[in-house]
Each structure stands twice: as structure tokens, then as C-alpha cells.
Structure 1
Amino acid sequence: MILTWLYAPGDRPEVVAKALACGADAVIVDLEDAVPVSRKEYARAATAELLADRPPLPVHVRVNALDSPWGGADLTALAGLHGLAGLRLPKISAPEQVAAAAHRTGGVALHALLESAVAVERAYDIARAHPALHGLSLGEADLCADLAVCAETGLDWCRSRVVVAARAAGLAPPAQSVFPDIRDLEALAVSCARGRALGFLGRAAIHPRQLPVIERAYLPAPEEVAAAAQVLSAARATPGALALPDGRFVDPAVVAAAHRTLALSRRAAARRP
């Protein structure tokens, strides 16, 4: 289960190598915003060389926008590589873009980034665009600019919209977008707690120091683990809907949530030294 994603610029192979060794669950090699125009070709070639073999953890690549001068070449160069775990498609605003990318990449796992008002409005249709689409998330920097949003809470409706669209389409809960201030870890923790309350699972980071904060925010607290264990124990003893002594009602949806809580708890235990 992936909780932490770390971005690294594709034109700096040494930074990508460090990212692969700093404790993230997965790395996103960026060919788009982090790479200047003069280095787009080099970034693509360096990333293709990296992914010729399987890296030590999952590597996704954020390609350039499909309607840019580089997006099509990115898809062609990367789609068949042994070490590629998935492609992130920026600035998706219509389901046809996802379908076209899937046609060109032959079954590679795709992830759509929604970065405009029209994309958020079409979130469910995009989520159902093609079986190769494995996830949605927001590109919040561009979305804030499009909406003229000046406070983080102004994105709450958009965030909820994406969470609901992903669930309705049978996709995994989305990960939160990056938090741009790498120094303010307290604000990052607050933002992650809000994202978790909205239904997100995990978050992308732009610096390794953000990773422990994100992980702590998304792992269940001891009391949550205890409550989940109680739910599963009661469900095993009495199949079907029932009420616990503390008044909580248990049905299949509650049981599924308890399983996820315990899976996250086991994940934390497995990662402890």
C-alpha cells in the first residue's frame, strides 16, 4: 500500500537515485514542470535508461502534457520499459485524452492529473475513461490559478469531488497533491490531517523531509487500530449487521474500513527497524 510518493526531476539522474533510497514508497520522475524546455530531451533519455531495468521500488513518470511538443514522444519512449510502474498524465480535461494515451501505451497503468475547473467537473467521466486508468489526483497549483483560490480550504469541494469520482469509478482513494512549502512541516501535518478527513490516502512530496510527516498523518492511531480489531472480532463472531456495546453499528462497509485500518497498521509494523 503506497502512502508516500516522492517527485524527482528527470533531468537530474543523481537526484532520482537519491530519491530511490530515501524511504518513499514510490518515486515519480518528473518530465514536466521540473524540467526546463532545453533539457526535455535529455530528461526523457535519462529516464528511459533508468527504467530499462526494474528499480528497487515502483517508479512512475509524469510525462509532459499530451498536447505539448514533448508528450507524444514521452509516451512512445517510456511505454514498453521493464521498470515502468505507471505514467502520470498532466492536465487531463477529457476522457478522450485518457483513452488516446491508453491506446498508445498498450496497457501501462495510467494516472490522470486534474488541474482545471473543467477537469474537476468531468472527474467521474475521466475516471471511467479506460480500464488502464488506475487513479486520479489533483494538480493543485494549476487548479488554484484557474479558480483564483487564495486559501487551501478553497479547494475542499474539488478535493471531495475527486475522492467521490474515484470511488464511484472503482478506483483507489486518491493521494493528496504536493505541499509546496518544504520548511513548514507543522502546516504540512495539518494539511494531511484535513486530506485524510476528506478521504485521501497518502500524499506526494517534493522533498524527503516531508515523507515522515505524511506517513504519520496517514497511519492509524492506536485507538483506531483497537476499534478496527473490535469490529472484525465482532463480525467474525456474528456475521451480518450488528451493533457493538459502545453503540457503533457494524455492516459490510464498516468491516471493509476496519480491514484497511489493520492493513495500514501492519504496514507500519513491517517498516519499523
Structure 2
Amino acid sequence: MSFALGPALLFCPADRPDRFAGALRKADVVILDLEDAVLPAAKAQARENIIAADVDPERVIVRVNAPDSVEFTKDLAAVAQTPFRTVMVAKSEDATAFDAFEDDYRVIALCETAKGVQQSAAIAAHPRTVALMWGAEDLVASLGGMSSRFPDGSYRDVARMARARVLLAAGASGKAAIDAVHLDIEDLEGLGAEAADAVASGFTATACIHPRQVEVIRDAYRPDPEAVQWARAVLVAAEGERGVFRFEGRMVDEPVLRHARAIVSRG
């Protein structure tokens, strides 16, 4: 089964099956959430909702509870009864936990604790891992902190470091990287700036918590026509060159060509 990732991944509580179809109409991929979005008393019903869901499995990720929780094994048993085979593991800290999944599963590791960020390279290297995502609020909470952001909305240094470390770990293993959610639903301008920085930095997708945020993320990941035109032109020019060359006043080498290929792939 093929699977497309992003650019806009929308979280949807698994205890709200009435929202499943609508979320899939609005987003590129939907994350049916069995973890933080669902109260403990509702988790059993949420698992039943996952089993009964009649939605496109190629555009669904199921977020399961942390491997060290009492809910993890129950979540896996429920997912096994579904066609869904892309699973996001909350609070990933130890890659060996992914051995619990059969070979046909794709694991997205959510590195959202201090230990998870520290172990992100080993987590990314696991053969079932297809992507890493980071999370700011749980990370700061794991450190005993109170907020991941300054009053102006920008991330504190510890969050920025974790974001960069998870991105680098994913890239080093050839895996995709997903940027964290922007919790301020009304701050679409701030979300747009973060999403633009994410795509410029190398993230594959950005997760979100509200349908209003989807199009903002898509716009950020969509290259402008001028960039696409330049990328296609420089790639054509490269076909007649044997190494570093000059194009429109700029030196072009392999890193520049990789950048151009990335732009064309999103165009």
C-alpha cells in the first residue's frame, strides 16, 4: 500500500467518528488520535471507532499511546483489526519498542520528551520508522518547564534545538520529518511563517489541529511559479554541463540542483 505524507496533517480525535470523513475532505492526511485528544474514559470507545472507520487507509495515520503506557498494547490490538498500517507512536523514546509492529507497519515516531529527542537518531534508524515528528509542549513538560514559547510567540531555545535535532536525525537516516503543531489557532500569520520556515529547512510536512490551518500550511509548502520556472530551467541547463557551472549569474553545483529538484517535486 502506498502512502503520501503531507504537506498538511490534521489531527482528529478518535472519539469523534462524526469528524473523520470531514477531516479527510479538508486535509491531505488525517491523524486519528487515540492519545492526548481522548480522555481515559473514552479510549475504549475510540478504539472501537477506529475499527469501524470506513475511510481511505492511504491517507490515515493512527496515533497510539506511548509504549510504556497501559493503553499501548490495547491500541495495537485495535489497529491490527483495521486496514490502517501507518502508526504514530506518542512519546517515542526507545526504538526497540517498534519491534512490537509487524513488518507491514510504517512507524512515525513522535519525539516529544527530552529522552526521545536525545534518542532521535537511533529511533530514525529503525527499519520500521518512516518519519519523525517533534512536539514542543510535552518536551518542555518533560524538563519541568512551563512554556515552549516566549510571549511574542517565538520558540524558546530548547524547543528550537529539539526541532533542529529531530530534523537532522530524520535526514541522516533518509526519513521524512514533520513539524510540530501551532497551538494558537487564531494566529494564522505565525503559522504561515513557521510553515514557510519548515519547508525551507527541509521538513516534509506540518501537523495541525484545526481545519482553518490546513490551507495556510499548503500555501507555505507550495513553491511560487517563479521558483518552479527557475528550478526547471536550471535542471535543463545542467543536462549540458559536466560539473559546476554558471546560470543566471549564480554558481550552480550539486546542492543547488538538489534544491531545484525539491522545488520541482512540490510544484
- TM-score, with structure 2 as normaliser: 0.89
Query: Following superposition of structure 1 onto structure 2, how do residues 201-212 of structure 1 map, counting pairs within 5 Å?
Result: 201-212=204-215
Q: Distance in 2 between matches of 1:135 and 1:7?
A: 16
In 2 relative to 1, CA 18–121 (structure 1 residues): closer, same or farther, beyond 3 Å? same
CA displacement 1:108-143 (0-9 Å, x = unmatched): 1111000111211111111112x1110101022201
Does the residue aligned with 2:258 lie in a helix, a strand or coil? helix
CA contact (8 A) 1:27 1:57 kept: no
Does the residue aligned with 1:136 lie in a helix, a strand or coil? strand
Q: Distance in 2 between matches of 1:179 and 1:215?
A: 14
Aligned match for 2:45, one of 34, 42, 45: 42
Deviation of 1:21 (Å): 1.7
Moved more, 256-265 or 190-199: 190-199
| Runs (4+) off by over 4 Å | none
Structure 2 unmatched runs, 5+: none
Moved more, 163-172 or 29-38: 163-172
Query: Following superposition of structure 1 onto structure 2, how do residues 1-273 of structure 1 map, counting pairs within 5 Å?
Result: 2-22=6-26, 24-50=27-53, 55=56, 58-79=59-80, 81-82=82-83, 84-98=84-98, 100-102=99-101, 105-129=102-126, 131-147=127-143, 148=145, 149-151=148-150, 152-154=155-157, 155-172=159-176, 174-251=177-254, 253-265=255-267
- Counterpart amino acid of residue 77 in structure 1: A
In 2 relative to 1, CA 245–15 (structure 1 residues): closer, same or farther, beyond 3 Å? closer
CA contact (8 A) 1:176 1:200 kept: yes
Does the residue aligned with 2:166 lie in a helix, a strand or coil? helix
Q: Distance in 2 between matches of 1:56 and 1:165?
A: 27
CA contact (8 A) 2:50 2:78 kept: no
Percent identity reads 36
CA displacement 1:14-65 (0-9 Å, x = unmatched): 011211222x111000000011111100000111111xx5527511100111
Q: Distance in 1 between matches of 2:63 and 2:173?
A: 22
CA displacement 1:57-84 (0-9 Å, x = unmatched): 51110011122111111112213522x1
CA contact (8 A) 2:85 2:104 kept: no
Aligned to 1:270: none
Does the residue aligned with 1:237 lie in a helix, a strand or coil? coil
Does the residue aligned with 1:28 lie in a helix, a strand or coil? strand
> What CA RMSD, in Å, does the superposition of the two structures yield over aligned residues?
1.8
Q: Distance in 2 between matches of 1:85 and 1:222?
A: 35
CA contact (8 A) 1:25 1:57 kept: no
- TM-score, with structure 1 as normaliser: 0.87
Q: Distance in 1 between matches of 2:123 and 2:66?
A: 16
Aligned residues: 255
- Counterpart amino acid of residue 100 in structure 2: A
Deviation of 1:201 (Å): 2.5
- Counterpart amino acid of residue 261 in structure 1: I
Deviation of 1:107 (Å): 2.3
Deviation of 1:254 (Å): 2.8
Deviation of 1:238 (Å): 1.9
- Counterpart amino acid of residue 89 in structure 2: L
Deviation of 1:150 (Å): 3.7
